[in-house]
Structure 1
Amino acid sequence: MIWAALLPLIALTGHTIVNARLLRRPRAGATTTERVAVLLPLRDEAERVTPCLEALLGQAGVPHLEILVLDDGSTDGTAEVVRAVAGDKVRLLTGAPLPAGWLGKPHACAQLASAAGDADVLVFVDADVVLAPDAVAGGVELLRSSGVQLLSPYPRIVGAGRLVQPLLQWSWLTFLPLRAMERSPRASLAAAGGQWLVADPAGYERAGGHAAVRADVLEDIGLARAVKRSGGRIALADGSALAECLMYSSWHELRDGYGKSLWASFGSPAGAAAVVAVLGLLYVAPPVAGVALLAGGAVGPAGWALAAYLIGVVGRVVSARATGGRAWPDALAQPVSIVLFGALVARSFALRRRGRLTWRGRPV
């Protein structure tokens, strides 16, 4: 069993190191003369939209910048907060009623994109993201220099969930060949994070825009796949130096956020179980076996098992350092992270089976 985990872990950690070296990053101090539309969908974000808005209003290096904000049926005074913070410096739209067959965020993003007019670049940002002053210009520059139609710069994740949240970046750095993903036309070989997306309007429209992913819980990945299916290219980037995202401020929020979407990350419950089982074999079994073997006096095999555990820890450290995360001591708890992730996956499927998935007051 030890060798069954050790050899794949060596390969996966090596792959993480290679990906970390190849990872694209938007450049600080960039400028652009293109017409850029920043699109901000909001639903009940009164308590946390202010830092996002202030950061957008402080963007530099983009002389032709328009900020469009859509209030999607908020009941907490979100629109009033937007007016108080930004006044007439942004264009505030009132969202249309949600049509049948649509989920809320795709519908809001589709309305924003339609209102962006003749912008040269579309920048989608979530309310929990705070951008550095040169982030928008840096994202636009990287979109063009990469030759892609959709760029996903992952922000630095802050807030609750230190054991679980870093698995987002770790997963694609470990298992996804980044450069091959950019070159490959396969829609299944795609990843994206909807917190901050930079899109070429022509490529976005050719892919069908957010209408193509109107019912997708993971609309960001769906949009990336739609771009690929339409002949476009996508790229991931590390945006941690220019953006941070407070996705969840408590474990309760994280649990509910993951609950609504984790089920959609897998083809089926059986597929999810297989993925969690493999992760358990690779990252949980070695330290458990190492402790048990050491207690039984099998020092040699215990050493190999603990070596496998440490190789997994190295992969987590590399991922954290490459994406602005916290490496120590969090990486040492990688087995605990995998166990928590497996529990969240099981809970998400259970909620879906019972028809109890909701988000912001709407059924999922």
Structure 2
Amino acid sequence: MTWITAGSLAAWAWLLAGQGFFWRTDVRLPDRAPPARWPDVAVVVPARDEAEVLPSSLPSLLAQDYPGRAEIFLVDDGSTDGTGELARALGREHGGLPLTVDSPGEPGPGWTGKLWAVRHGVSLARARTDAEYLLLTDADIAHDPDSLRELVAAARASGLDLVSQMARLRVATGWERLIVPAFVYFFAQLYPFRWVNRAGGRTAAAAGGCVLLRREAAERAGIPDVIRQAVIDDVALARAVKRSGGRIWLGLAERVDSVRPYPGLRPLWRMVSRSAYAQLLHSPALLAGTVMGLAVVYLVPPLAVAAGALGGAVGPLALGAAAWAVMAGTYLPMLRYYRQPPWLAPLLPFTALLYLLMTVDSAVQHYRGRGAAWKGRTYARPERPEAAP
């Protein structure tokens, strides 16, 4: 137990200093000097059964205070809840930016539904506008009135081909408080934002809820066709852009929020488990390594503290307490970003256990033929999986 706990503490020492300072939450939009000329922008919104959230999100896009020309293309991906009709009604009611609502029909062979909808929206934008930038944003994302202006200014001022913000997810219920900040914390640990934003670095990622993409960079990278099978489409998109020589940036949002509710554990569980095994490239070896890593890094410290306290073993107790303290300390900035109380930080091992179980469940569902299921569709393992980050 002493040696295992010492290994956990060593892992936390490395994570603290050697993993791109993933735990810091100060990576925000870079220089936002207004450009001399505001380029045209096409906003593409894929939507499937989003009638519940559209009244809170679509008006925020219609109301964008953008000095240049912008147009919205909402693509109804086979909804059964009246999403398309509601979107048209909201457009008539709120006015603002021009809105086109269309549907592409069922996805073509080898396409995921969202990317099929994105493809259709991008095609509409190319046919009807001369947009220099595409804003790809999910139907559950609400934007402050200056969000588009700030994104474009940052892209222009810093010469970026892709600017993506991790939307601030809703945190209202007890389960959301326990799981949602940790979701962003673990994402940043896997894809440290500073590494993503480093020119010439290998790490690439984006947050699919809010991606501003230069149209020329999208065409050069073959977006979206080159990633048509991707379940984790935002990361695949960022990799494609970076591989083709584009400059990308990812950070936390200040003006972009998700309005999608996760009222209980089940929808949160589904949110994570639907893509967790795909993230591991459907590899049993990577699954085993991930489970072992999560156990050693997150579960061993509190277990060592409990065992040391009960058995009078000073070594495991001290080492476990130190590792647990570092763990909680790295989580505090994310809790502050989400305006949550600091006492949630010591509960991170329990949250990590839930994520471990979600990941195992994701693999189980995959081998039962129900992997990557979302809104009535199940996606098979891609023929050519993406490389690991």
TM (normalized to structure 2)?
A: 0.86
- Check if 1:95 corresponds to 2:108: no
* Structure 1: gaps of 5 or more residues: none
Q: How does 1:1-364 map to 2 (within 5 A)?
A: 1-15=4-18, 18-19=21-22, 20=24, 23-25=27-29, 33-87=38-92, 89-117=98-126, 118-159=130-171, 161-183=176-198, 185=200, 189-239=203-253, 241-250=254-263, 251-267=265-281, 268-299=283-314, 301-321=316-336, 323-324=337-338, 326=340, 328-357=342-371, 358-364=373-379
2:152 partner amino acid: V
Percent of aligned pairs sharing the same letter? 32
State the Cα distance separating 1:67 from its structure 2 match: 1.1
**1:122–1:200 CA contact under 8 A, matched in 2:** yes
**1:166–1:325 CA contact under 8 A, matched in 2:** no
> Cα deviation per residue 1:130-153 (whole Å; 9 max; x = unaligned)?
111111111112222332212221
User: SS where residue 180 of structure 2 aligns?
Assistant: coil
State the Cα distance separating 1:335 from its structure 2 match: 0.2
Give the distance between the partners of 1:340 and 1:34, measured in 2 at CA. Answer: 45
Give the distance between the partners of 1:343 and 1:9, measured in 2 at CA. Answer: 22
2:104 partner amino acid: G
**2:20–2:194 CA contact under 8 A, matched in 1:** no
**1:149–1:233 CA contact under 8 A, matched in 2:** yes
State the Cα distance separating 1:15 from its structure 2 match: 4.8
Give the distance between the partners of 1:26 and 1:77, measured in 2 at CA. Answer: 39
* Structure 2: gaps of 5 or more residues: 380-389
Aligned length: 361
**1:154–1:238 CA contact under 8 A, matched in 2:** yes
Give the distance between the partners of 2:201 and 2:178, measured in 1 at CA. Answer: 32
Q: Bigger CA drift: 114-123 or 25-34?
A: 25-34
Give the distance between the partners of 1:262 and 1:174, measured in 2 at CA. Answer: 15
Q: Bigger CA drift: 12-21 or 252-261?
A: 12-21
What is the alpha-carbon root mean square deviation over aligned residues? 2.4
**2:30–2:154 CA contact under 8 A, matched in 1:** yes
Give the distance between the partners of 1:173 and 1:359, measured in 2 at CA. Answer: 24
User: SS where residue 23 of structure 1 aligns?
Assistant: coil
State the Cα distance separating 1:78 from its structure 2 match: 0.7
**1:163–1:336 CA contact under 8 A, matched in 2:** no
Give the distance between the partners of 1:104 and 1:21, measured in 2 at CA. Answer: 32
State the Cα distance separating 1:4 from its structure 2 match: 1.0
TM (normalized to structure 1)?
A: 0.91
Give the distance between the partners of 2:53 and 2:362, measured in 1 at CA. Answer: 26
Give the distance between the partners of 1:147 and 1:168, measured in 2 at CA. Answer: 30
